[in-house]
Structure 1
């Protein structure tokens, strides 16, 4: 069983029946996600959602004076909401309020980690901000369809995320348009260095290349009065080098103190991290090796899912990864990973483990936001049409076809998919899975592309024939 990590306090006896019901619902949700013999059906998910909301109403009635209490009921309830949210993605109801829960929970983790790390790019925040706006819109649209208890919970979580997002945006607002690209490049290099550090074979040459890039950026920032000591000499030599750089005549207006501090800190951190990982060569201290191996395994598995998502991912599979990461994240004390004796990790182990943790959460977020609004029952058809569309677009970009005959394989496949519809619907047995509109729209787009290619080929053929006839007429007159 995979409970959410949380502080446990004594359970009110009156809440025991609620806990028992939620445990039963959670078990049913887990069985639903594990059953690969059939696809997840909408009616099963909606039934379990209604059962959860019944327990929420009972719980809220009991806690009229204890709104902030957190005990095992809340951890199991969170499990149920996570599973329900991922199940809504699995059945193609991506734009419904319950589907928001998992995405917002992951966003909350990401934002907390970005705030803790103090380095991130504006693009990170743009993506998260857009997703939060979508989530708010889905909640507003669901006011007539879903329980106010759920909507209140979701809106409160979105509010917390947007507050943290605003703080992070304010932190980067001091960067000028000239300095922002350099900041983005430094963030990219720092992340790339961390990625190098977790490879099975340490890439010395690649790290050396990043060091050279850092030196180039450092030189580019010197005219702004921004410097970082990258020498490998003594402390006195580093200070002297830094003072020498700061005495240079500035070629650009000195940026705001906040922006200057941001860039100097990040530049310095990049240099230190590059030197540190070259010294360590990926060797993790024994007390933290088990955690490292576990996080690395999770990261690698999630990245494989990212590559094969369209064909192999059932969104509910993400639940177990979320819970494993949550338990590791919650085990930190004051942000530190501790060994068996309660001692905090050294800087190298700390940053390496945090990179793996954050990268895994970021991959889960990417998998969630790229989930297609189509039931897994229709995914095989949807994926085939997506591939067909890509092939037809590639043919069009390559200059089209010389003869309509070249379209026969595409036309046969499109017709065979179109013939699967019953009264305009793609049926699975007697069920009409969600995502009909998305699949039908994609099918129509493929037919339209095929038609355009055929018309272009026929026009080219007609023009060629006309040109040949003209040549044969003009020939004797010359």
Structure 2
């Protein structure tokens, strides 16, 4: 994903001019990303995108006889495509093939980490599977408009993702309907325990509550699962042994999926040992890895905050900084191990804690990418206002509507002010027509329709009330006359 400490093949002198040009393109992309004084224009992105594709064509010609070559040129090219991908999302072209590049790269990392962690929810796999199908559609639609090299690269990466995804799905294939809820709860608890373990202040009471719940599940499933009794070894040794046992059983089984009860039993045992381990550690990490831990936790916290304020504060290219930092940490591992300055691996607690933070951060990036709206950042303020208006109007409608059309005046005034911003039916920024016109126009029409329905219902309600009041007055006015006649 980025420049990495891994050893690369020496650069072919013929490729040096290509490297120089793509380094220049990467610098220009970085400058464009850093410029927050104006919104990013599609034409600026397309110009740099086409320049990258030209260099790729030249590179492919040089490498006709050495297709598997990998050196710094490929690393910088990957940087450029990652940035271009995020720029395509920033300008609202989220459904096009280049926008898929960053998403697929993130999902590949995420799937590898899920497999390495050894536990995951079926919901995770379903979500990723659906997105891979959507991205395949984007690639198919882009065959006539985008670089064949890019499309081939995307298809190859998605094929790798699908292979890993199918392997993970296979591992859960024997979970029966009665075991599925137990498994999902255990995965949720294990993740929550890992999250608690990585807080600034260790939540003792919360972890105890999780422990109590695990003991309840153990008691409930006592007749179904054979769980080993606690021995005198440390929790760290027991957890390491459990992971080794699971790996050995997996290797011995080959392509045979584990029996459902075995899957649940393994996760339950891991939960029980892990809760013992983190209670012993009390949130303290091996000091050799304190800097890496602090860095990953800060990245996770920043990404967590972005998920809460995304629609108002995130420019998709901002994710590049986080991806770059995470990629460097991930690629610095050796055989999956985090190493200290002397090349010595971390203890099991540190390894699993750092892996959790790494995986969680990539999961946040995945969430932010798939939540990207098909609207240019130039139109996002209007789009976000309309989203808020639509949500408010739906809440008004679901709560019974309004009693009088006057109550809709604030909504109508805001909608009319937004509608009046259009020029010949388009939302303009200067002389430019930003991407996402259809999405914003559709959203505006939905808001007008909701307001119209609420106004119509309010008018009918008011007419019914007025009619009922007239009937009441008429009846009350007729009663005394009847009384006089009787007298």
- Scaled by the length of structure 2, what TM-score is found? 0.91
For residues 51 and 257 of structure 1, what CA distance do their matches in structure 2 show?
50
Aligned residues of 2:4 and 2:332 also touching (Cα < 8 A): no
SS at match of 1:145: coil
In structure 1, how many angstroms separate the alpha carbons of the residues matched to 2:145 and 2:474?
Answer: 73
Contact 1:426 1:436 in 2 (8 A): yes
1:175 counterpart residue number: 175
Task: Give the whole-Å Cα distance in 2 for the aligned partners of 1:345 and 1:77.
Answer: 33
Larger mean Cα displacement after TM superposition, 389-398 or 409-418: 389-398
| Pairs within 5 Å for 1:446-457 | 446-457=447-458
Task: State how far apart, in whole Å, the 1-side matches of 2:64 and 2:206 are.
Answer: 59
**CA offset at residue 133 of structure 1?**
0.3
Equivalent residue number for residue 192 of structure 1: 192
2:248 paired residue number: none
Aligned match of 1:42 = 42
Q: 1:67 to 1:455 in 2, by over 3 A?
A: same
Q: Which residue of 1 aligns with 2:390?
A: 389
Query: What's the CA shift for 1:234?
Result: 7.7
> Could you say which residue in structure 1 is the equivalent of 2:436?
435
**What is the TM-score when the length of structure 1 is the normalising length?**
0.93
Alignment-derived partner of residue 225 in structure 2: 226
Residues of 2 paired with 1:163 and 1:92: CA distance?
Answer: 30
Report the CA distance between 1:364 and its aligned residue: 0.3
Task: Report the Cα distance in structure 2 between the residues aligned to 1:357 and 1:191, rounded to whole angstroms.
Answer: 13
- The ranges of structure 1 where at least 4 consecutive aligned residues each deviate by more than 4 angstroms after the TM superposition are 229-235
Give SS of 2:303's match: helix
Q: Is the 8 A contact 1:22 1:52 kept in 2?
A: yes
**1:16 Cα deviation from its structure 2 partner:** 0.2
Task: Provide the C-alpha distance between the structure 2 equivalents of 1:106 and 1:322, rounded to a whole number of angstroms.
Answer: 8
Shift of 1:69: 1.2
Q: Secondary structure at the residue paired with 1:101?
A: helix
- 1:312 equivalent in structure 2: 313
- Work out whether residues 377 and 428 of structure 1, in 8 Å CA contact, stay in contact via their aligned partners in 2: yes
Deviation at 1:257, TM superposition (A): 5.4
**Hey, what's the Cα distance between the residues in 1 that align with 2:284 and 2:147?**
51
Which residue is equivalent to 2:352? 351
Asked whether the 8 Å contact 1:4–1:79 carries over to 2, the reply is no
Give 1:156's aligned residue: 156
Residue 261 of structure 1, CA deviation: 2.3
Query: SS in structure 2 opposite 1:222?
Result: coil
Unaligned 5+ residue runs, structure 2?
239-256, 483-487
Aligned match of 2:102: 102
Partner residue of 1:365? 366
Residue in structure 2 matched with residue 203 of structure 1 by the alignment: 203
- 1:282-293 paired onto structure 2 within 5 Å: 282-293=283-294
Q: Following TM superposition, by how much is the alpha carbon of 1:233 offset from its aligned partner in structure 2, in angstroms?
A: 6.7
The residue that corresponds to 1:122 in the other structure is: 122
Contact 1:7-1:70 at 8 Å conserved across structures: no
Alignment of 1:405 onto 2:406? yes
C-alpha spacing 1:5/1:450, structure 2 compared with 1 (3 Å): farther
Q: Residue 18 of structure 1 corresponds to which residue in structure 2?
A: 18
Tell me what 1:248 maps to: none
1:381 and 1:4, CA in 2 relative to 1: closer, same or farther beyond 3 A?
farther
**Equivalents in 2 of 1:90, 1:300: separation in Å?**
23
In structure 2, distance between residues paired with 1:228 and 1:65: 57
> Does the 8 Å CA contact 1:4/1:323 hold for their aligned counterparts?
no
How far has the Cα of 1:2 moved from its partner?
Answer: 6.2
Task: Report the Cα distance in structure 1 between the residues aligned to 2:109 and 2:259, rounded to whole angstroms.
Answer: 26
Aligned residue pairs: how many? 458
Secondary structure of 1:284's match? coil
Please say if residues 4 and 331 of structure 2, whose CA atoms lie closer than 8 Å, have aligned partners that are also in contact. no
Could you say if the C-alpha distance between residues 234 and 146 of structure 1 is closer, same or farther in structure 2, counting changes exceeding 3 Å?
A: closer
1:341 equivalent in structure 2: 342
Q: Do 2:2 and 2:328's aligned partners in 1 also have CA atoms closer than 8 Å?
A: no
Contact map agreement 2:174 2:260 (CA 8 A) in 1: yes
Instruction: Report the Cα offset of residue 110 of structure 1.
Output: 0.5
Rounded to whole Å, the distance in 2 between the matches of 1:233 and 1:221 is: 24
Deviations 1:112-156 (A, max 9, x none): 011111110110001100110011000001111112111111111
Shift of residue 85 of structure 1? 0.2
Q: Is the 8 A contact 2:26 2:76 kept in 1?
A: yes
Query: Is the Cα–Cα contact under 8 Å of residues 408 and 455 in structure 2 kept in the other structure?
Result: yes
Seen in structure 2, the aligned counterparts of structure 1 residues 232 and 201 have a Cα distance that, compared at 3 Å, is farther
Listed one character per residue, the Cα deviations across residues 167-198 of structure 1 (whole Å, up to 9, x for unaligned) are 11111101111101111100000000011111
Structure 2 partner of 1:69: 69
- What does residue range 234-245 of structure 1 map to in structure 2 within 5 Å? none
Q: In the aligned structure 2, how far is the partner of 1:234 from the partner of 1:80?
A: 50
Q: What's the C-alpha RMSD, in Å, of the aligned pairs?
A: 1.7
Q: Deviations over 1:255-283 (max 9, x none)?
A: x9532221111111101111111111111
The alpha-carbon distance between structure 1 residues 228 and 105, as it changes in their structure 2 partners (threshold 3 A), is same
Distance 2:374 2:6 in 1: 32
Output one character per residue of 1:21-67: Cα deviation in whole Å (capped at 9) or x when no partner: 10000001000110001001100000000000000101111111211
Q: Is the 8 A contact 1:4 1:78 kept in 2?
A: no
